[in-house]
Structure 1
Amino acid sequence: MAQVHASLPSSSLFIFPPSNEPQTLPPPPAGSTLSAPPISLPASWYNDALDVRVPITIAVVYAVTVSALNAYNRSRGNQPWAISKTRGFFWFVVAHNVFLAVYSGWTFVGMFNALQRSLVSPTGPTGLAGTVDSLCKLHGTSGLGNAIAYNTTLSGWISESPSSILLSDAGTPFATDLGRLWNEGLAFYGWFFYLSKFYEVLDTAIILAKGKRSSTLQTYHHAGAMMCMWAGIRFMSPPIWMFVFVNSGIHALMYTYYTLTAFAVPIPTSLKRSLTTMQIIQFLVGASYAALHSFVSYTIPVEVPVRIVPAASSTVSAVAASATAAGIGSLVKKFLFRAAGEEGLAGNVEATYSADQAAHQKPFHHGITGAQEFRTEYQTIPCIDTSGQTFAIWFNVLYLAPLTVLFMRFFVRSYLRRTSKTAGKGVVGTKHEAIEQAGKDAYKGIERRVDRTTEMNGKANGKVNGKH
């Protein structure tokens, strides 16, 4: 029976720099499947944007520019720039916030639909192992044991069920495979979400234009987010879906809030508190969820080829002989085998089975598929397959660690100490306000002082209405 296990990761997965294999697979072309993305992304564009030099260059330029403009603002006594007092600037800020709110909502809905199509319920016939499999393995078709994973030993993609799953002639998963997160939406929405991290630096530009200082933490937040999203999408790391899905949902609400504050619309404290709570949950749960992937393995049923039945049908023999003599390609051979009713042989034209992956297998039953005899065994496999996936996971965790430290320090200073100082003074809601401001500082890194954080989240993002 399929089970989920806690296990230690292989040391071979922890190498730096990580292996460049495999190359990132672009999303399905538009119209190729019922759940294909609305537009096609050329493979060259897709992979060129994921060149590591792109996020590194933009992050460095961003950090240097912010440092220089902070010094410039300080030399001017932190006076607002003239442009920040114009109506054009106000409408730019509004358009910026509306765009990010709408875009984030679009991404959230897209990822929600992708999860609906690919996430397996733990109450289903495959149990928790089926759920874990649907979250750990991003390629192939749906179903426990139907995934396609990259084997670093063989330097190629392999099918976990060689009797039924095919690879393309290029030796990669088909772009039209359905039922797994990558093709169902993560490849498409995740790539755009990665690019959106470059656009979000305009948040910092707005703050600087108001003559305010952009904190080191905010610079770290934006530059780090670029690199983390790059790593997750470039190496097709399983937990990156959570950051795309949850963060886009929170951003949709957050930028809607910024838009409303730009028009001086009063926001109930309870709503702001709820937004901050979601930010904190994302921050803490996201890192824990990502790290967990390195310590999970599970069992899957595998159809292991045993031997060719001697009494193979004459039809199949004739098909194979004629195909070989004519030099027909493997894809045509598959079709010929299928036409002869031998799906098992067709499925194994390009299937690869690695003997070193058969460790800890237990026999279950025997069966005959066409002319090929198979034995179903339960094989234990890790959730994470490559050093690139491991690198993306722990890069994200280590990026979030300083934010965790900051959050705890700010929580103590702004929540415990501030509450104790105001005890007995009739201050209402101090405890909740401290939590709200601590969460905002940990997530956005805008200001450390409680009495200025609200201003940075609202006014610095466009609260210039009423002055014109």
Structure 2
Amino acid sequence: MAAPAVFLSSPSLSLFTFPPDREPQPLAPPPSGSSVSAPPFTIPAWLFSAALDVKVPILIASLYAISVSFLNAYNKSSGNKPWRISKTRAFFWFVVAHNVFLAVYSAWTFVGMLNALKRTVQSPAGPFGLVGTVDSLCKLHGPAGIGNAIIYSPNSSQWVSESPSKVFLSEMGVPDSMEAGRLWNEGLAFYGWFFYLSKFYEVLDTVIILAKGKKSSTLQTYHHAGAMMCMWAGIRFMSPPIYTFVLLNSAIHALMYTYYTLTAFSVPIPQVLKRNLTTMQIMQFIFGASFAAFHLFVSYTMPVQVLDVKASTASLASAASTAVSSMAATASSAGVAGLLKKFLFRAAGEEGLAENVNAPSSLHMVTPRLVHSGEQYSIEYQTISCIVTSGQAFAVWLNLFYLAPLTVLFVRFFIRSYIKRTSGVTTQKSRGAAENAGRDAIKGVERELYRNGGVNGSGVTGAVVEEEEEGEEKVNSKANGKMNGKY
């Protein structure tokens, strides 16, 4: 007999279809108060589904990109002068409130997702080892425990249970929103949905930059528009790796917007902290996207309950025969008892009561229900893929396509902002050597990145790097001025 094991295999080509299958539809999170781990408040199911209509992110992303292009042209035509509102005290406090809100919200999301993972992810030291861990991360619906997951089957176009003798679907044939134990109901549906909506709110980063009369870079526009679509795909198709994006990016955002809050009050930030923050963003992209892509290749064998048709048929036939005999005996005894009652009532002169004997009562009618007590199951080891629907796969490779160029832009920004800027303040004598060393370092970074199959990244970034970009020319000009004055 086979044993539980985790292994790598090539994903099925059926997963890479565009457009992806529309089914299954996204499932709303549990209502507030339904369990100990239920969300703090209820998201109406209709609102949850409406926000995940594909037209919502496409429309908002398109309007955002068009508006930025128009406002960039307007700022250029006006000599990049700050808007009048940007010089007001109200605008300053708006910026502060915006940054504080996103810092607090991101920290709240990170803590919520971290707790959800602690509750649902099985330890590799558990009874099923690594298989139990992988199963708890790959299968988002159903009760906790290996073999208890509820998965969507593209072949039958319906939700199925890995343990039909123990797990029941809701009346609508979908996983029960009240069922606790796996990541979707334990927090991913709730925190992930709000994290998706936060991508629309984050466009205010661009509004703040434009209001100061500055240009919103291609990186900024590409980032925000792409983030909307990527988070939409992950939540809409309930793709398992989306938890990585929510967890990592919310942690980075909490730090990043705290940094922006401090800079709004002109608090001096050491250069090493700025550099480390950008490094963390780049590492987030590389690790997260690689980990997400890894899900496409992961499969595992696990014990699954399978209906034993032959044994079940014999058992059900025996049970049916017994039930028929029992009902016949009951009906016979009921008939004799009924005749005796009719005779006694008529002897007492109660003809009306005698006529009502054996008449059906609407208050006590019972609807027949099929009982599956005779079904018998056997345990078989089956191979399960982590990603099973084209929608889940679509969310993964959409993020990969989005993050590859984004990571390149961030590496370019890192080199321009920190490596070249550092070399700019060196002495004239050592400047050539520093530039050569920096150039060699850049080639080394590019060589390492592209040798590993291209640049990848993780999750949806919320970085707003324009603030440092806008000060780059000032720093370089000051450095050049000092060097010119000195030499």
Shorter chain as denominator, the TM-score bin is: 0.7 to 0.9
Identity %: 64
Alignment partner, residue 223 of structure 1: 225
Aligned partner of 1:174: which letter? D
SS in 1 for 2:380: strand
1:382 aligns with 2:401: no
Q: CA deviation at 1:273?
A: 3.5
Paired residues of 1:28 and 1:183 also in contact (CA < 8 A): yes
Structure 1 letter corresponding to 2:248: V
Residue among 383, 391, 395 paired with 1:392: 395
Q: Which moved more, 1:236-245 or 1:119-128?
A: 119-128
**Contact 1:446-1:453 within 8 A present in 2 as well:** no
Once superposed, what is the RMSD of the aligned Cα atoms?
3.1
Q: Which structure is larger by alpha-carbon Rg, 1 or 2?
A: 2
Question: Is the 1:215–1:445 contact (alpha carbons within 8 Å) kept by the matching residues of 2?
Answer: no
Structure-2 separation of matches of 1:406 and 1:274? 17
> Post-superposition shift, 1:38?
1.1
Check if 1:204 corresponds to 2:243. Answer: no
Deviation at 1:41, TM superposition (A): 1.2
Please state how far the C-alpha of 1:215 moved relative to its aligned partner: 0.7
Alpha-carbon distance in 2 for matches of 1:409, 1:95: 31
**Contact 2:138–2:386 (8 Å) recurs in 1:** yes
Amino acid in structure 2 at the alignment position of 1:296: V
SS at match of 1:302: strand
Shift in Å, 1:44: 0.7
Aligned position for 2:31: 29
Q: Any unmatched runs of 5+ in structure 2?
A: 328-364, 447-456, 476-487
Alpha-carbon distance in 1 for matches of 2:44, 2:321: 40
CA-CA distance at 1:137 after TM superposition: 0.7
Return 88-97 or 447-456, whichever deviates more: 447-456
Matched, 1:401 2:400: no
Q: Which amino acid aligns with 1:452?
A: G
Match of 1:173 in 2: 175
With the length of structure 1 as denominator, give the TM-score of the two structures: 0.80
- 1:189 is paired with a residue of what secondary structure? helix
Q: Counterpart of 1:380 in 2: which secondary structure?
A: strand
The structure-2 alpha-carbon separation of the partners of 1:49 and 1:316, relative to structure 1 and needing over 3 Å to count, comes to farther
SS at match of 1:377: strand
- Contact preservation (8 Å) 1:214, 1:446: no
Q: Any idea what the Cα deviations from partners look like across 1:346-371, whole Å, max 9, x if unmatched?
A: 6xxxxxxxxxxxxxxxxxxxxxxxx4
Residue in 2 that maps onto 1:248: 250
User: Residue deviations 1:138-187, cap 9 Å, x none?
Assistant: 11111111111100110100111222111112110111111111000000
Structure 1, unpaired ranges of 5+ = 338-344, 347-370, 457-468
Q: Tell me the SS of whatever aligns to 1:73.
A: helix
> Quick check: 77-86 or 161-170, which moved more?
161-170
More helix by share: 2
Does residue 1:452 correspond to 2:454, yes or no?
no
- The answer to whether the 8 A contact 2:315-2:375 is kept is no
Q: Kindly tell me: are residues 416 and 203 of structure 1, through their superposed partners in 2, closer, same or farther at Cα, counting changes over 3 Å?
A: closer
Question: What pairs up with 1:179-190 in 2 under 5 angstroms?
Answer: 179-190=181-192
Q: Using the alignment, how far apart are the partners of 2:135 and 2:406 within structure 1?
A: 31
CA distance in 1, matches of 2:39, 2:74: 44
SS in 2 for 1:120: coil
Q: After the TM superposition, which residues 121-160 of structure 1 pair with which residues of structure 2 at under 5 Å, given as runs?
A: 121-160=123-162
Residues 58 and 229 in structure 2, CA contact (< 8 A), matched pair in contact too: yes
Deviations along 1:35-59, whole A, 9 cap, x unmatched? 1111111111110000000000000
Mapped pair 1:110 → 2:115 = no
Alpha-carbon distance, 1:274 to partner:
3.4
Shift in CA distance, 41/448, structure 1 to aligned 2, threshold 3 Å: closer
Equivalent-residue separation in structure 1 for 2:263 and 2:419 (angstroms) = 29
Query: Is the deviation greater in 158-167 or in 65-74?
Result: 158-167
In 2, Cα distance between equivalents of 1:247 and 1:387:
25
In the alignment, is the contact (CA less than 8 A) between 1:221 and 1:445 conserved in 2?
no
Task: Give the letter aligned to residue 444 of structure 1.
Answer: A
Q: 2:42, 2:410 → 1: CA distance? A: 41
Q: TM-score, normalised by structure 2?
A: 0.77
Q: Which residue of 2 aligns with 1:364?
A: none
CA contact (8 A) 1:218 1:445 kept: yes
1:42-93 superposed Cα distances (whole Å, 9 cap, x missing partner): 1111100000000000000000000000000000111111111100000000
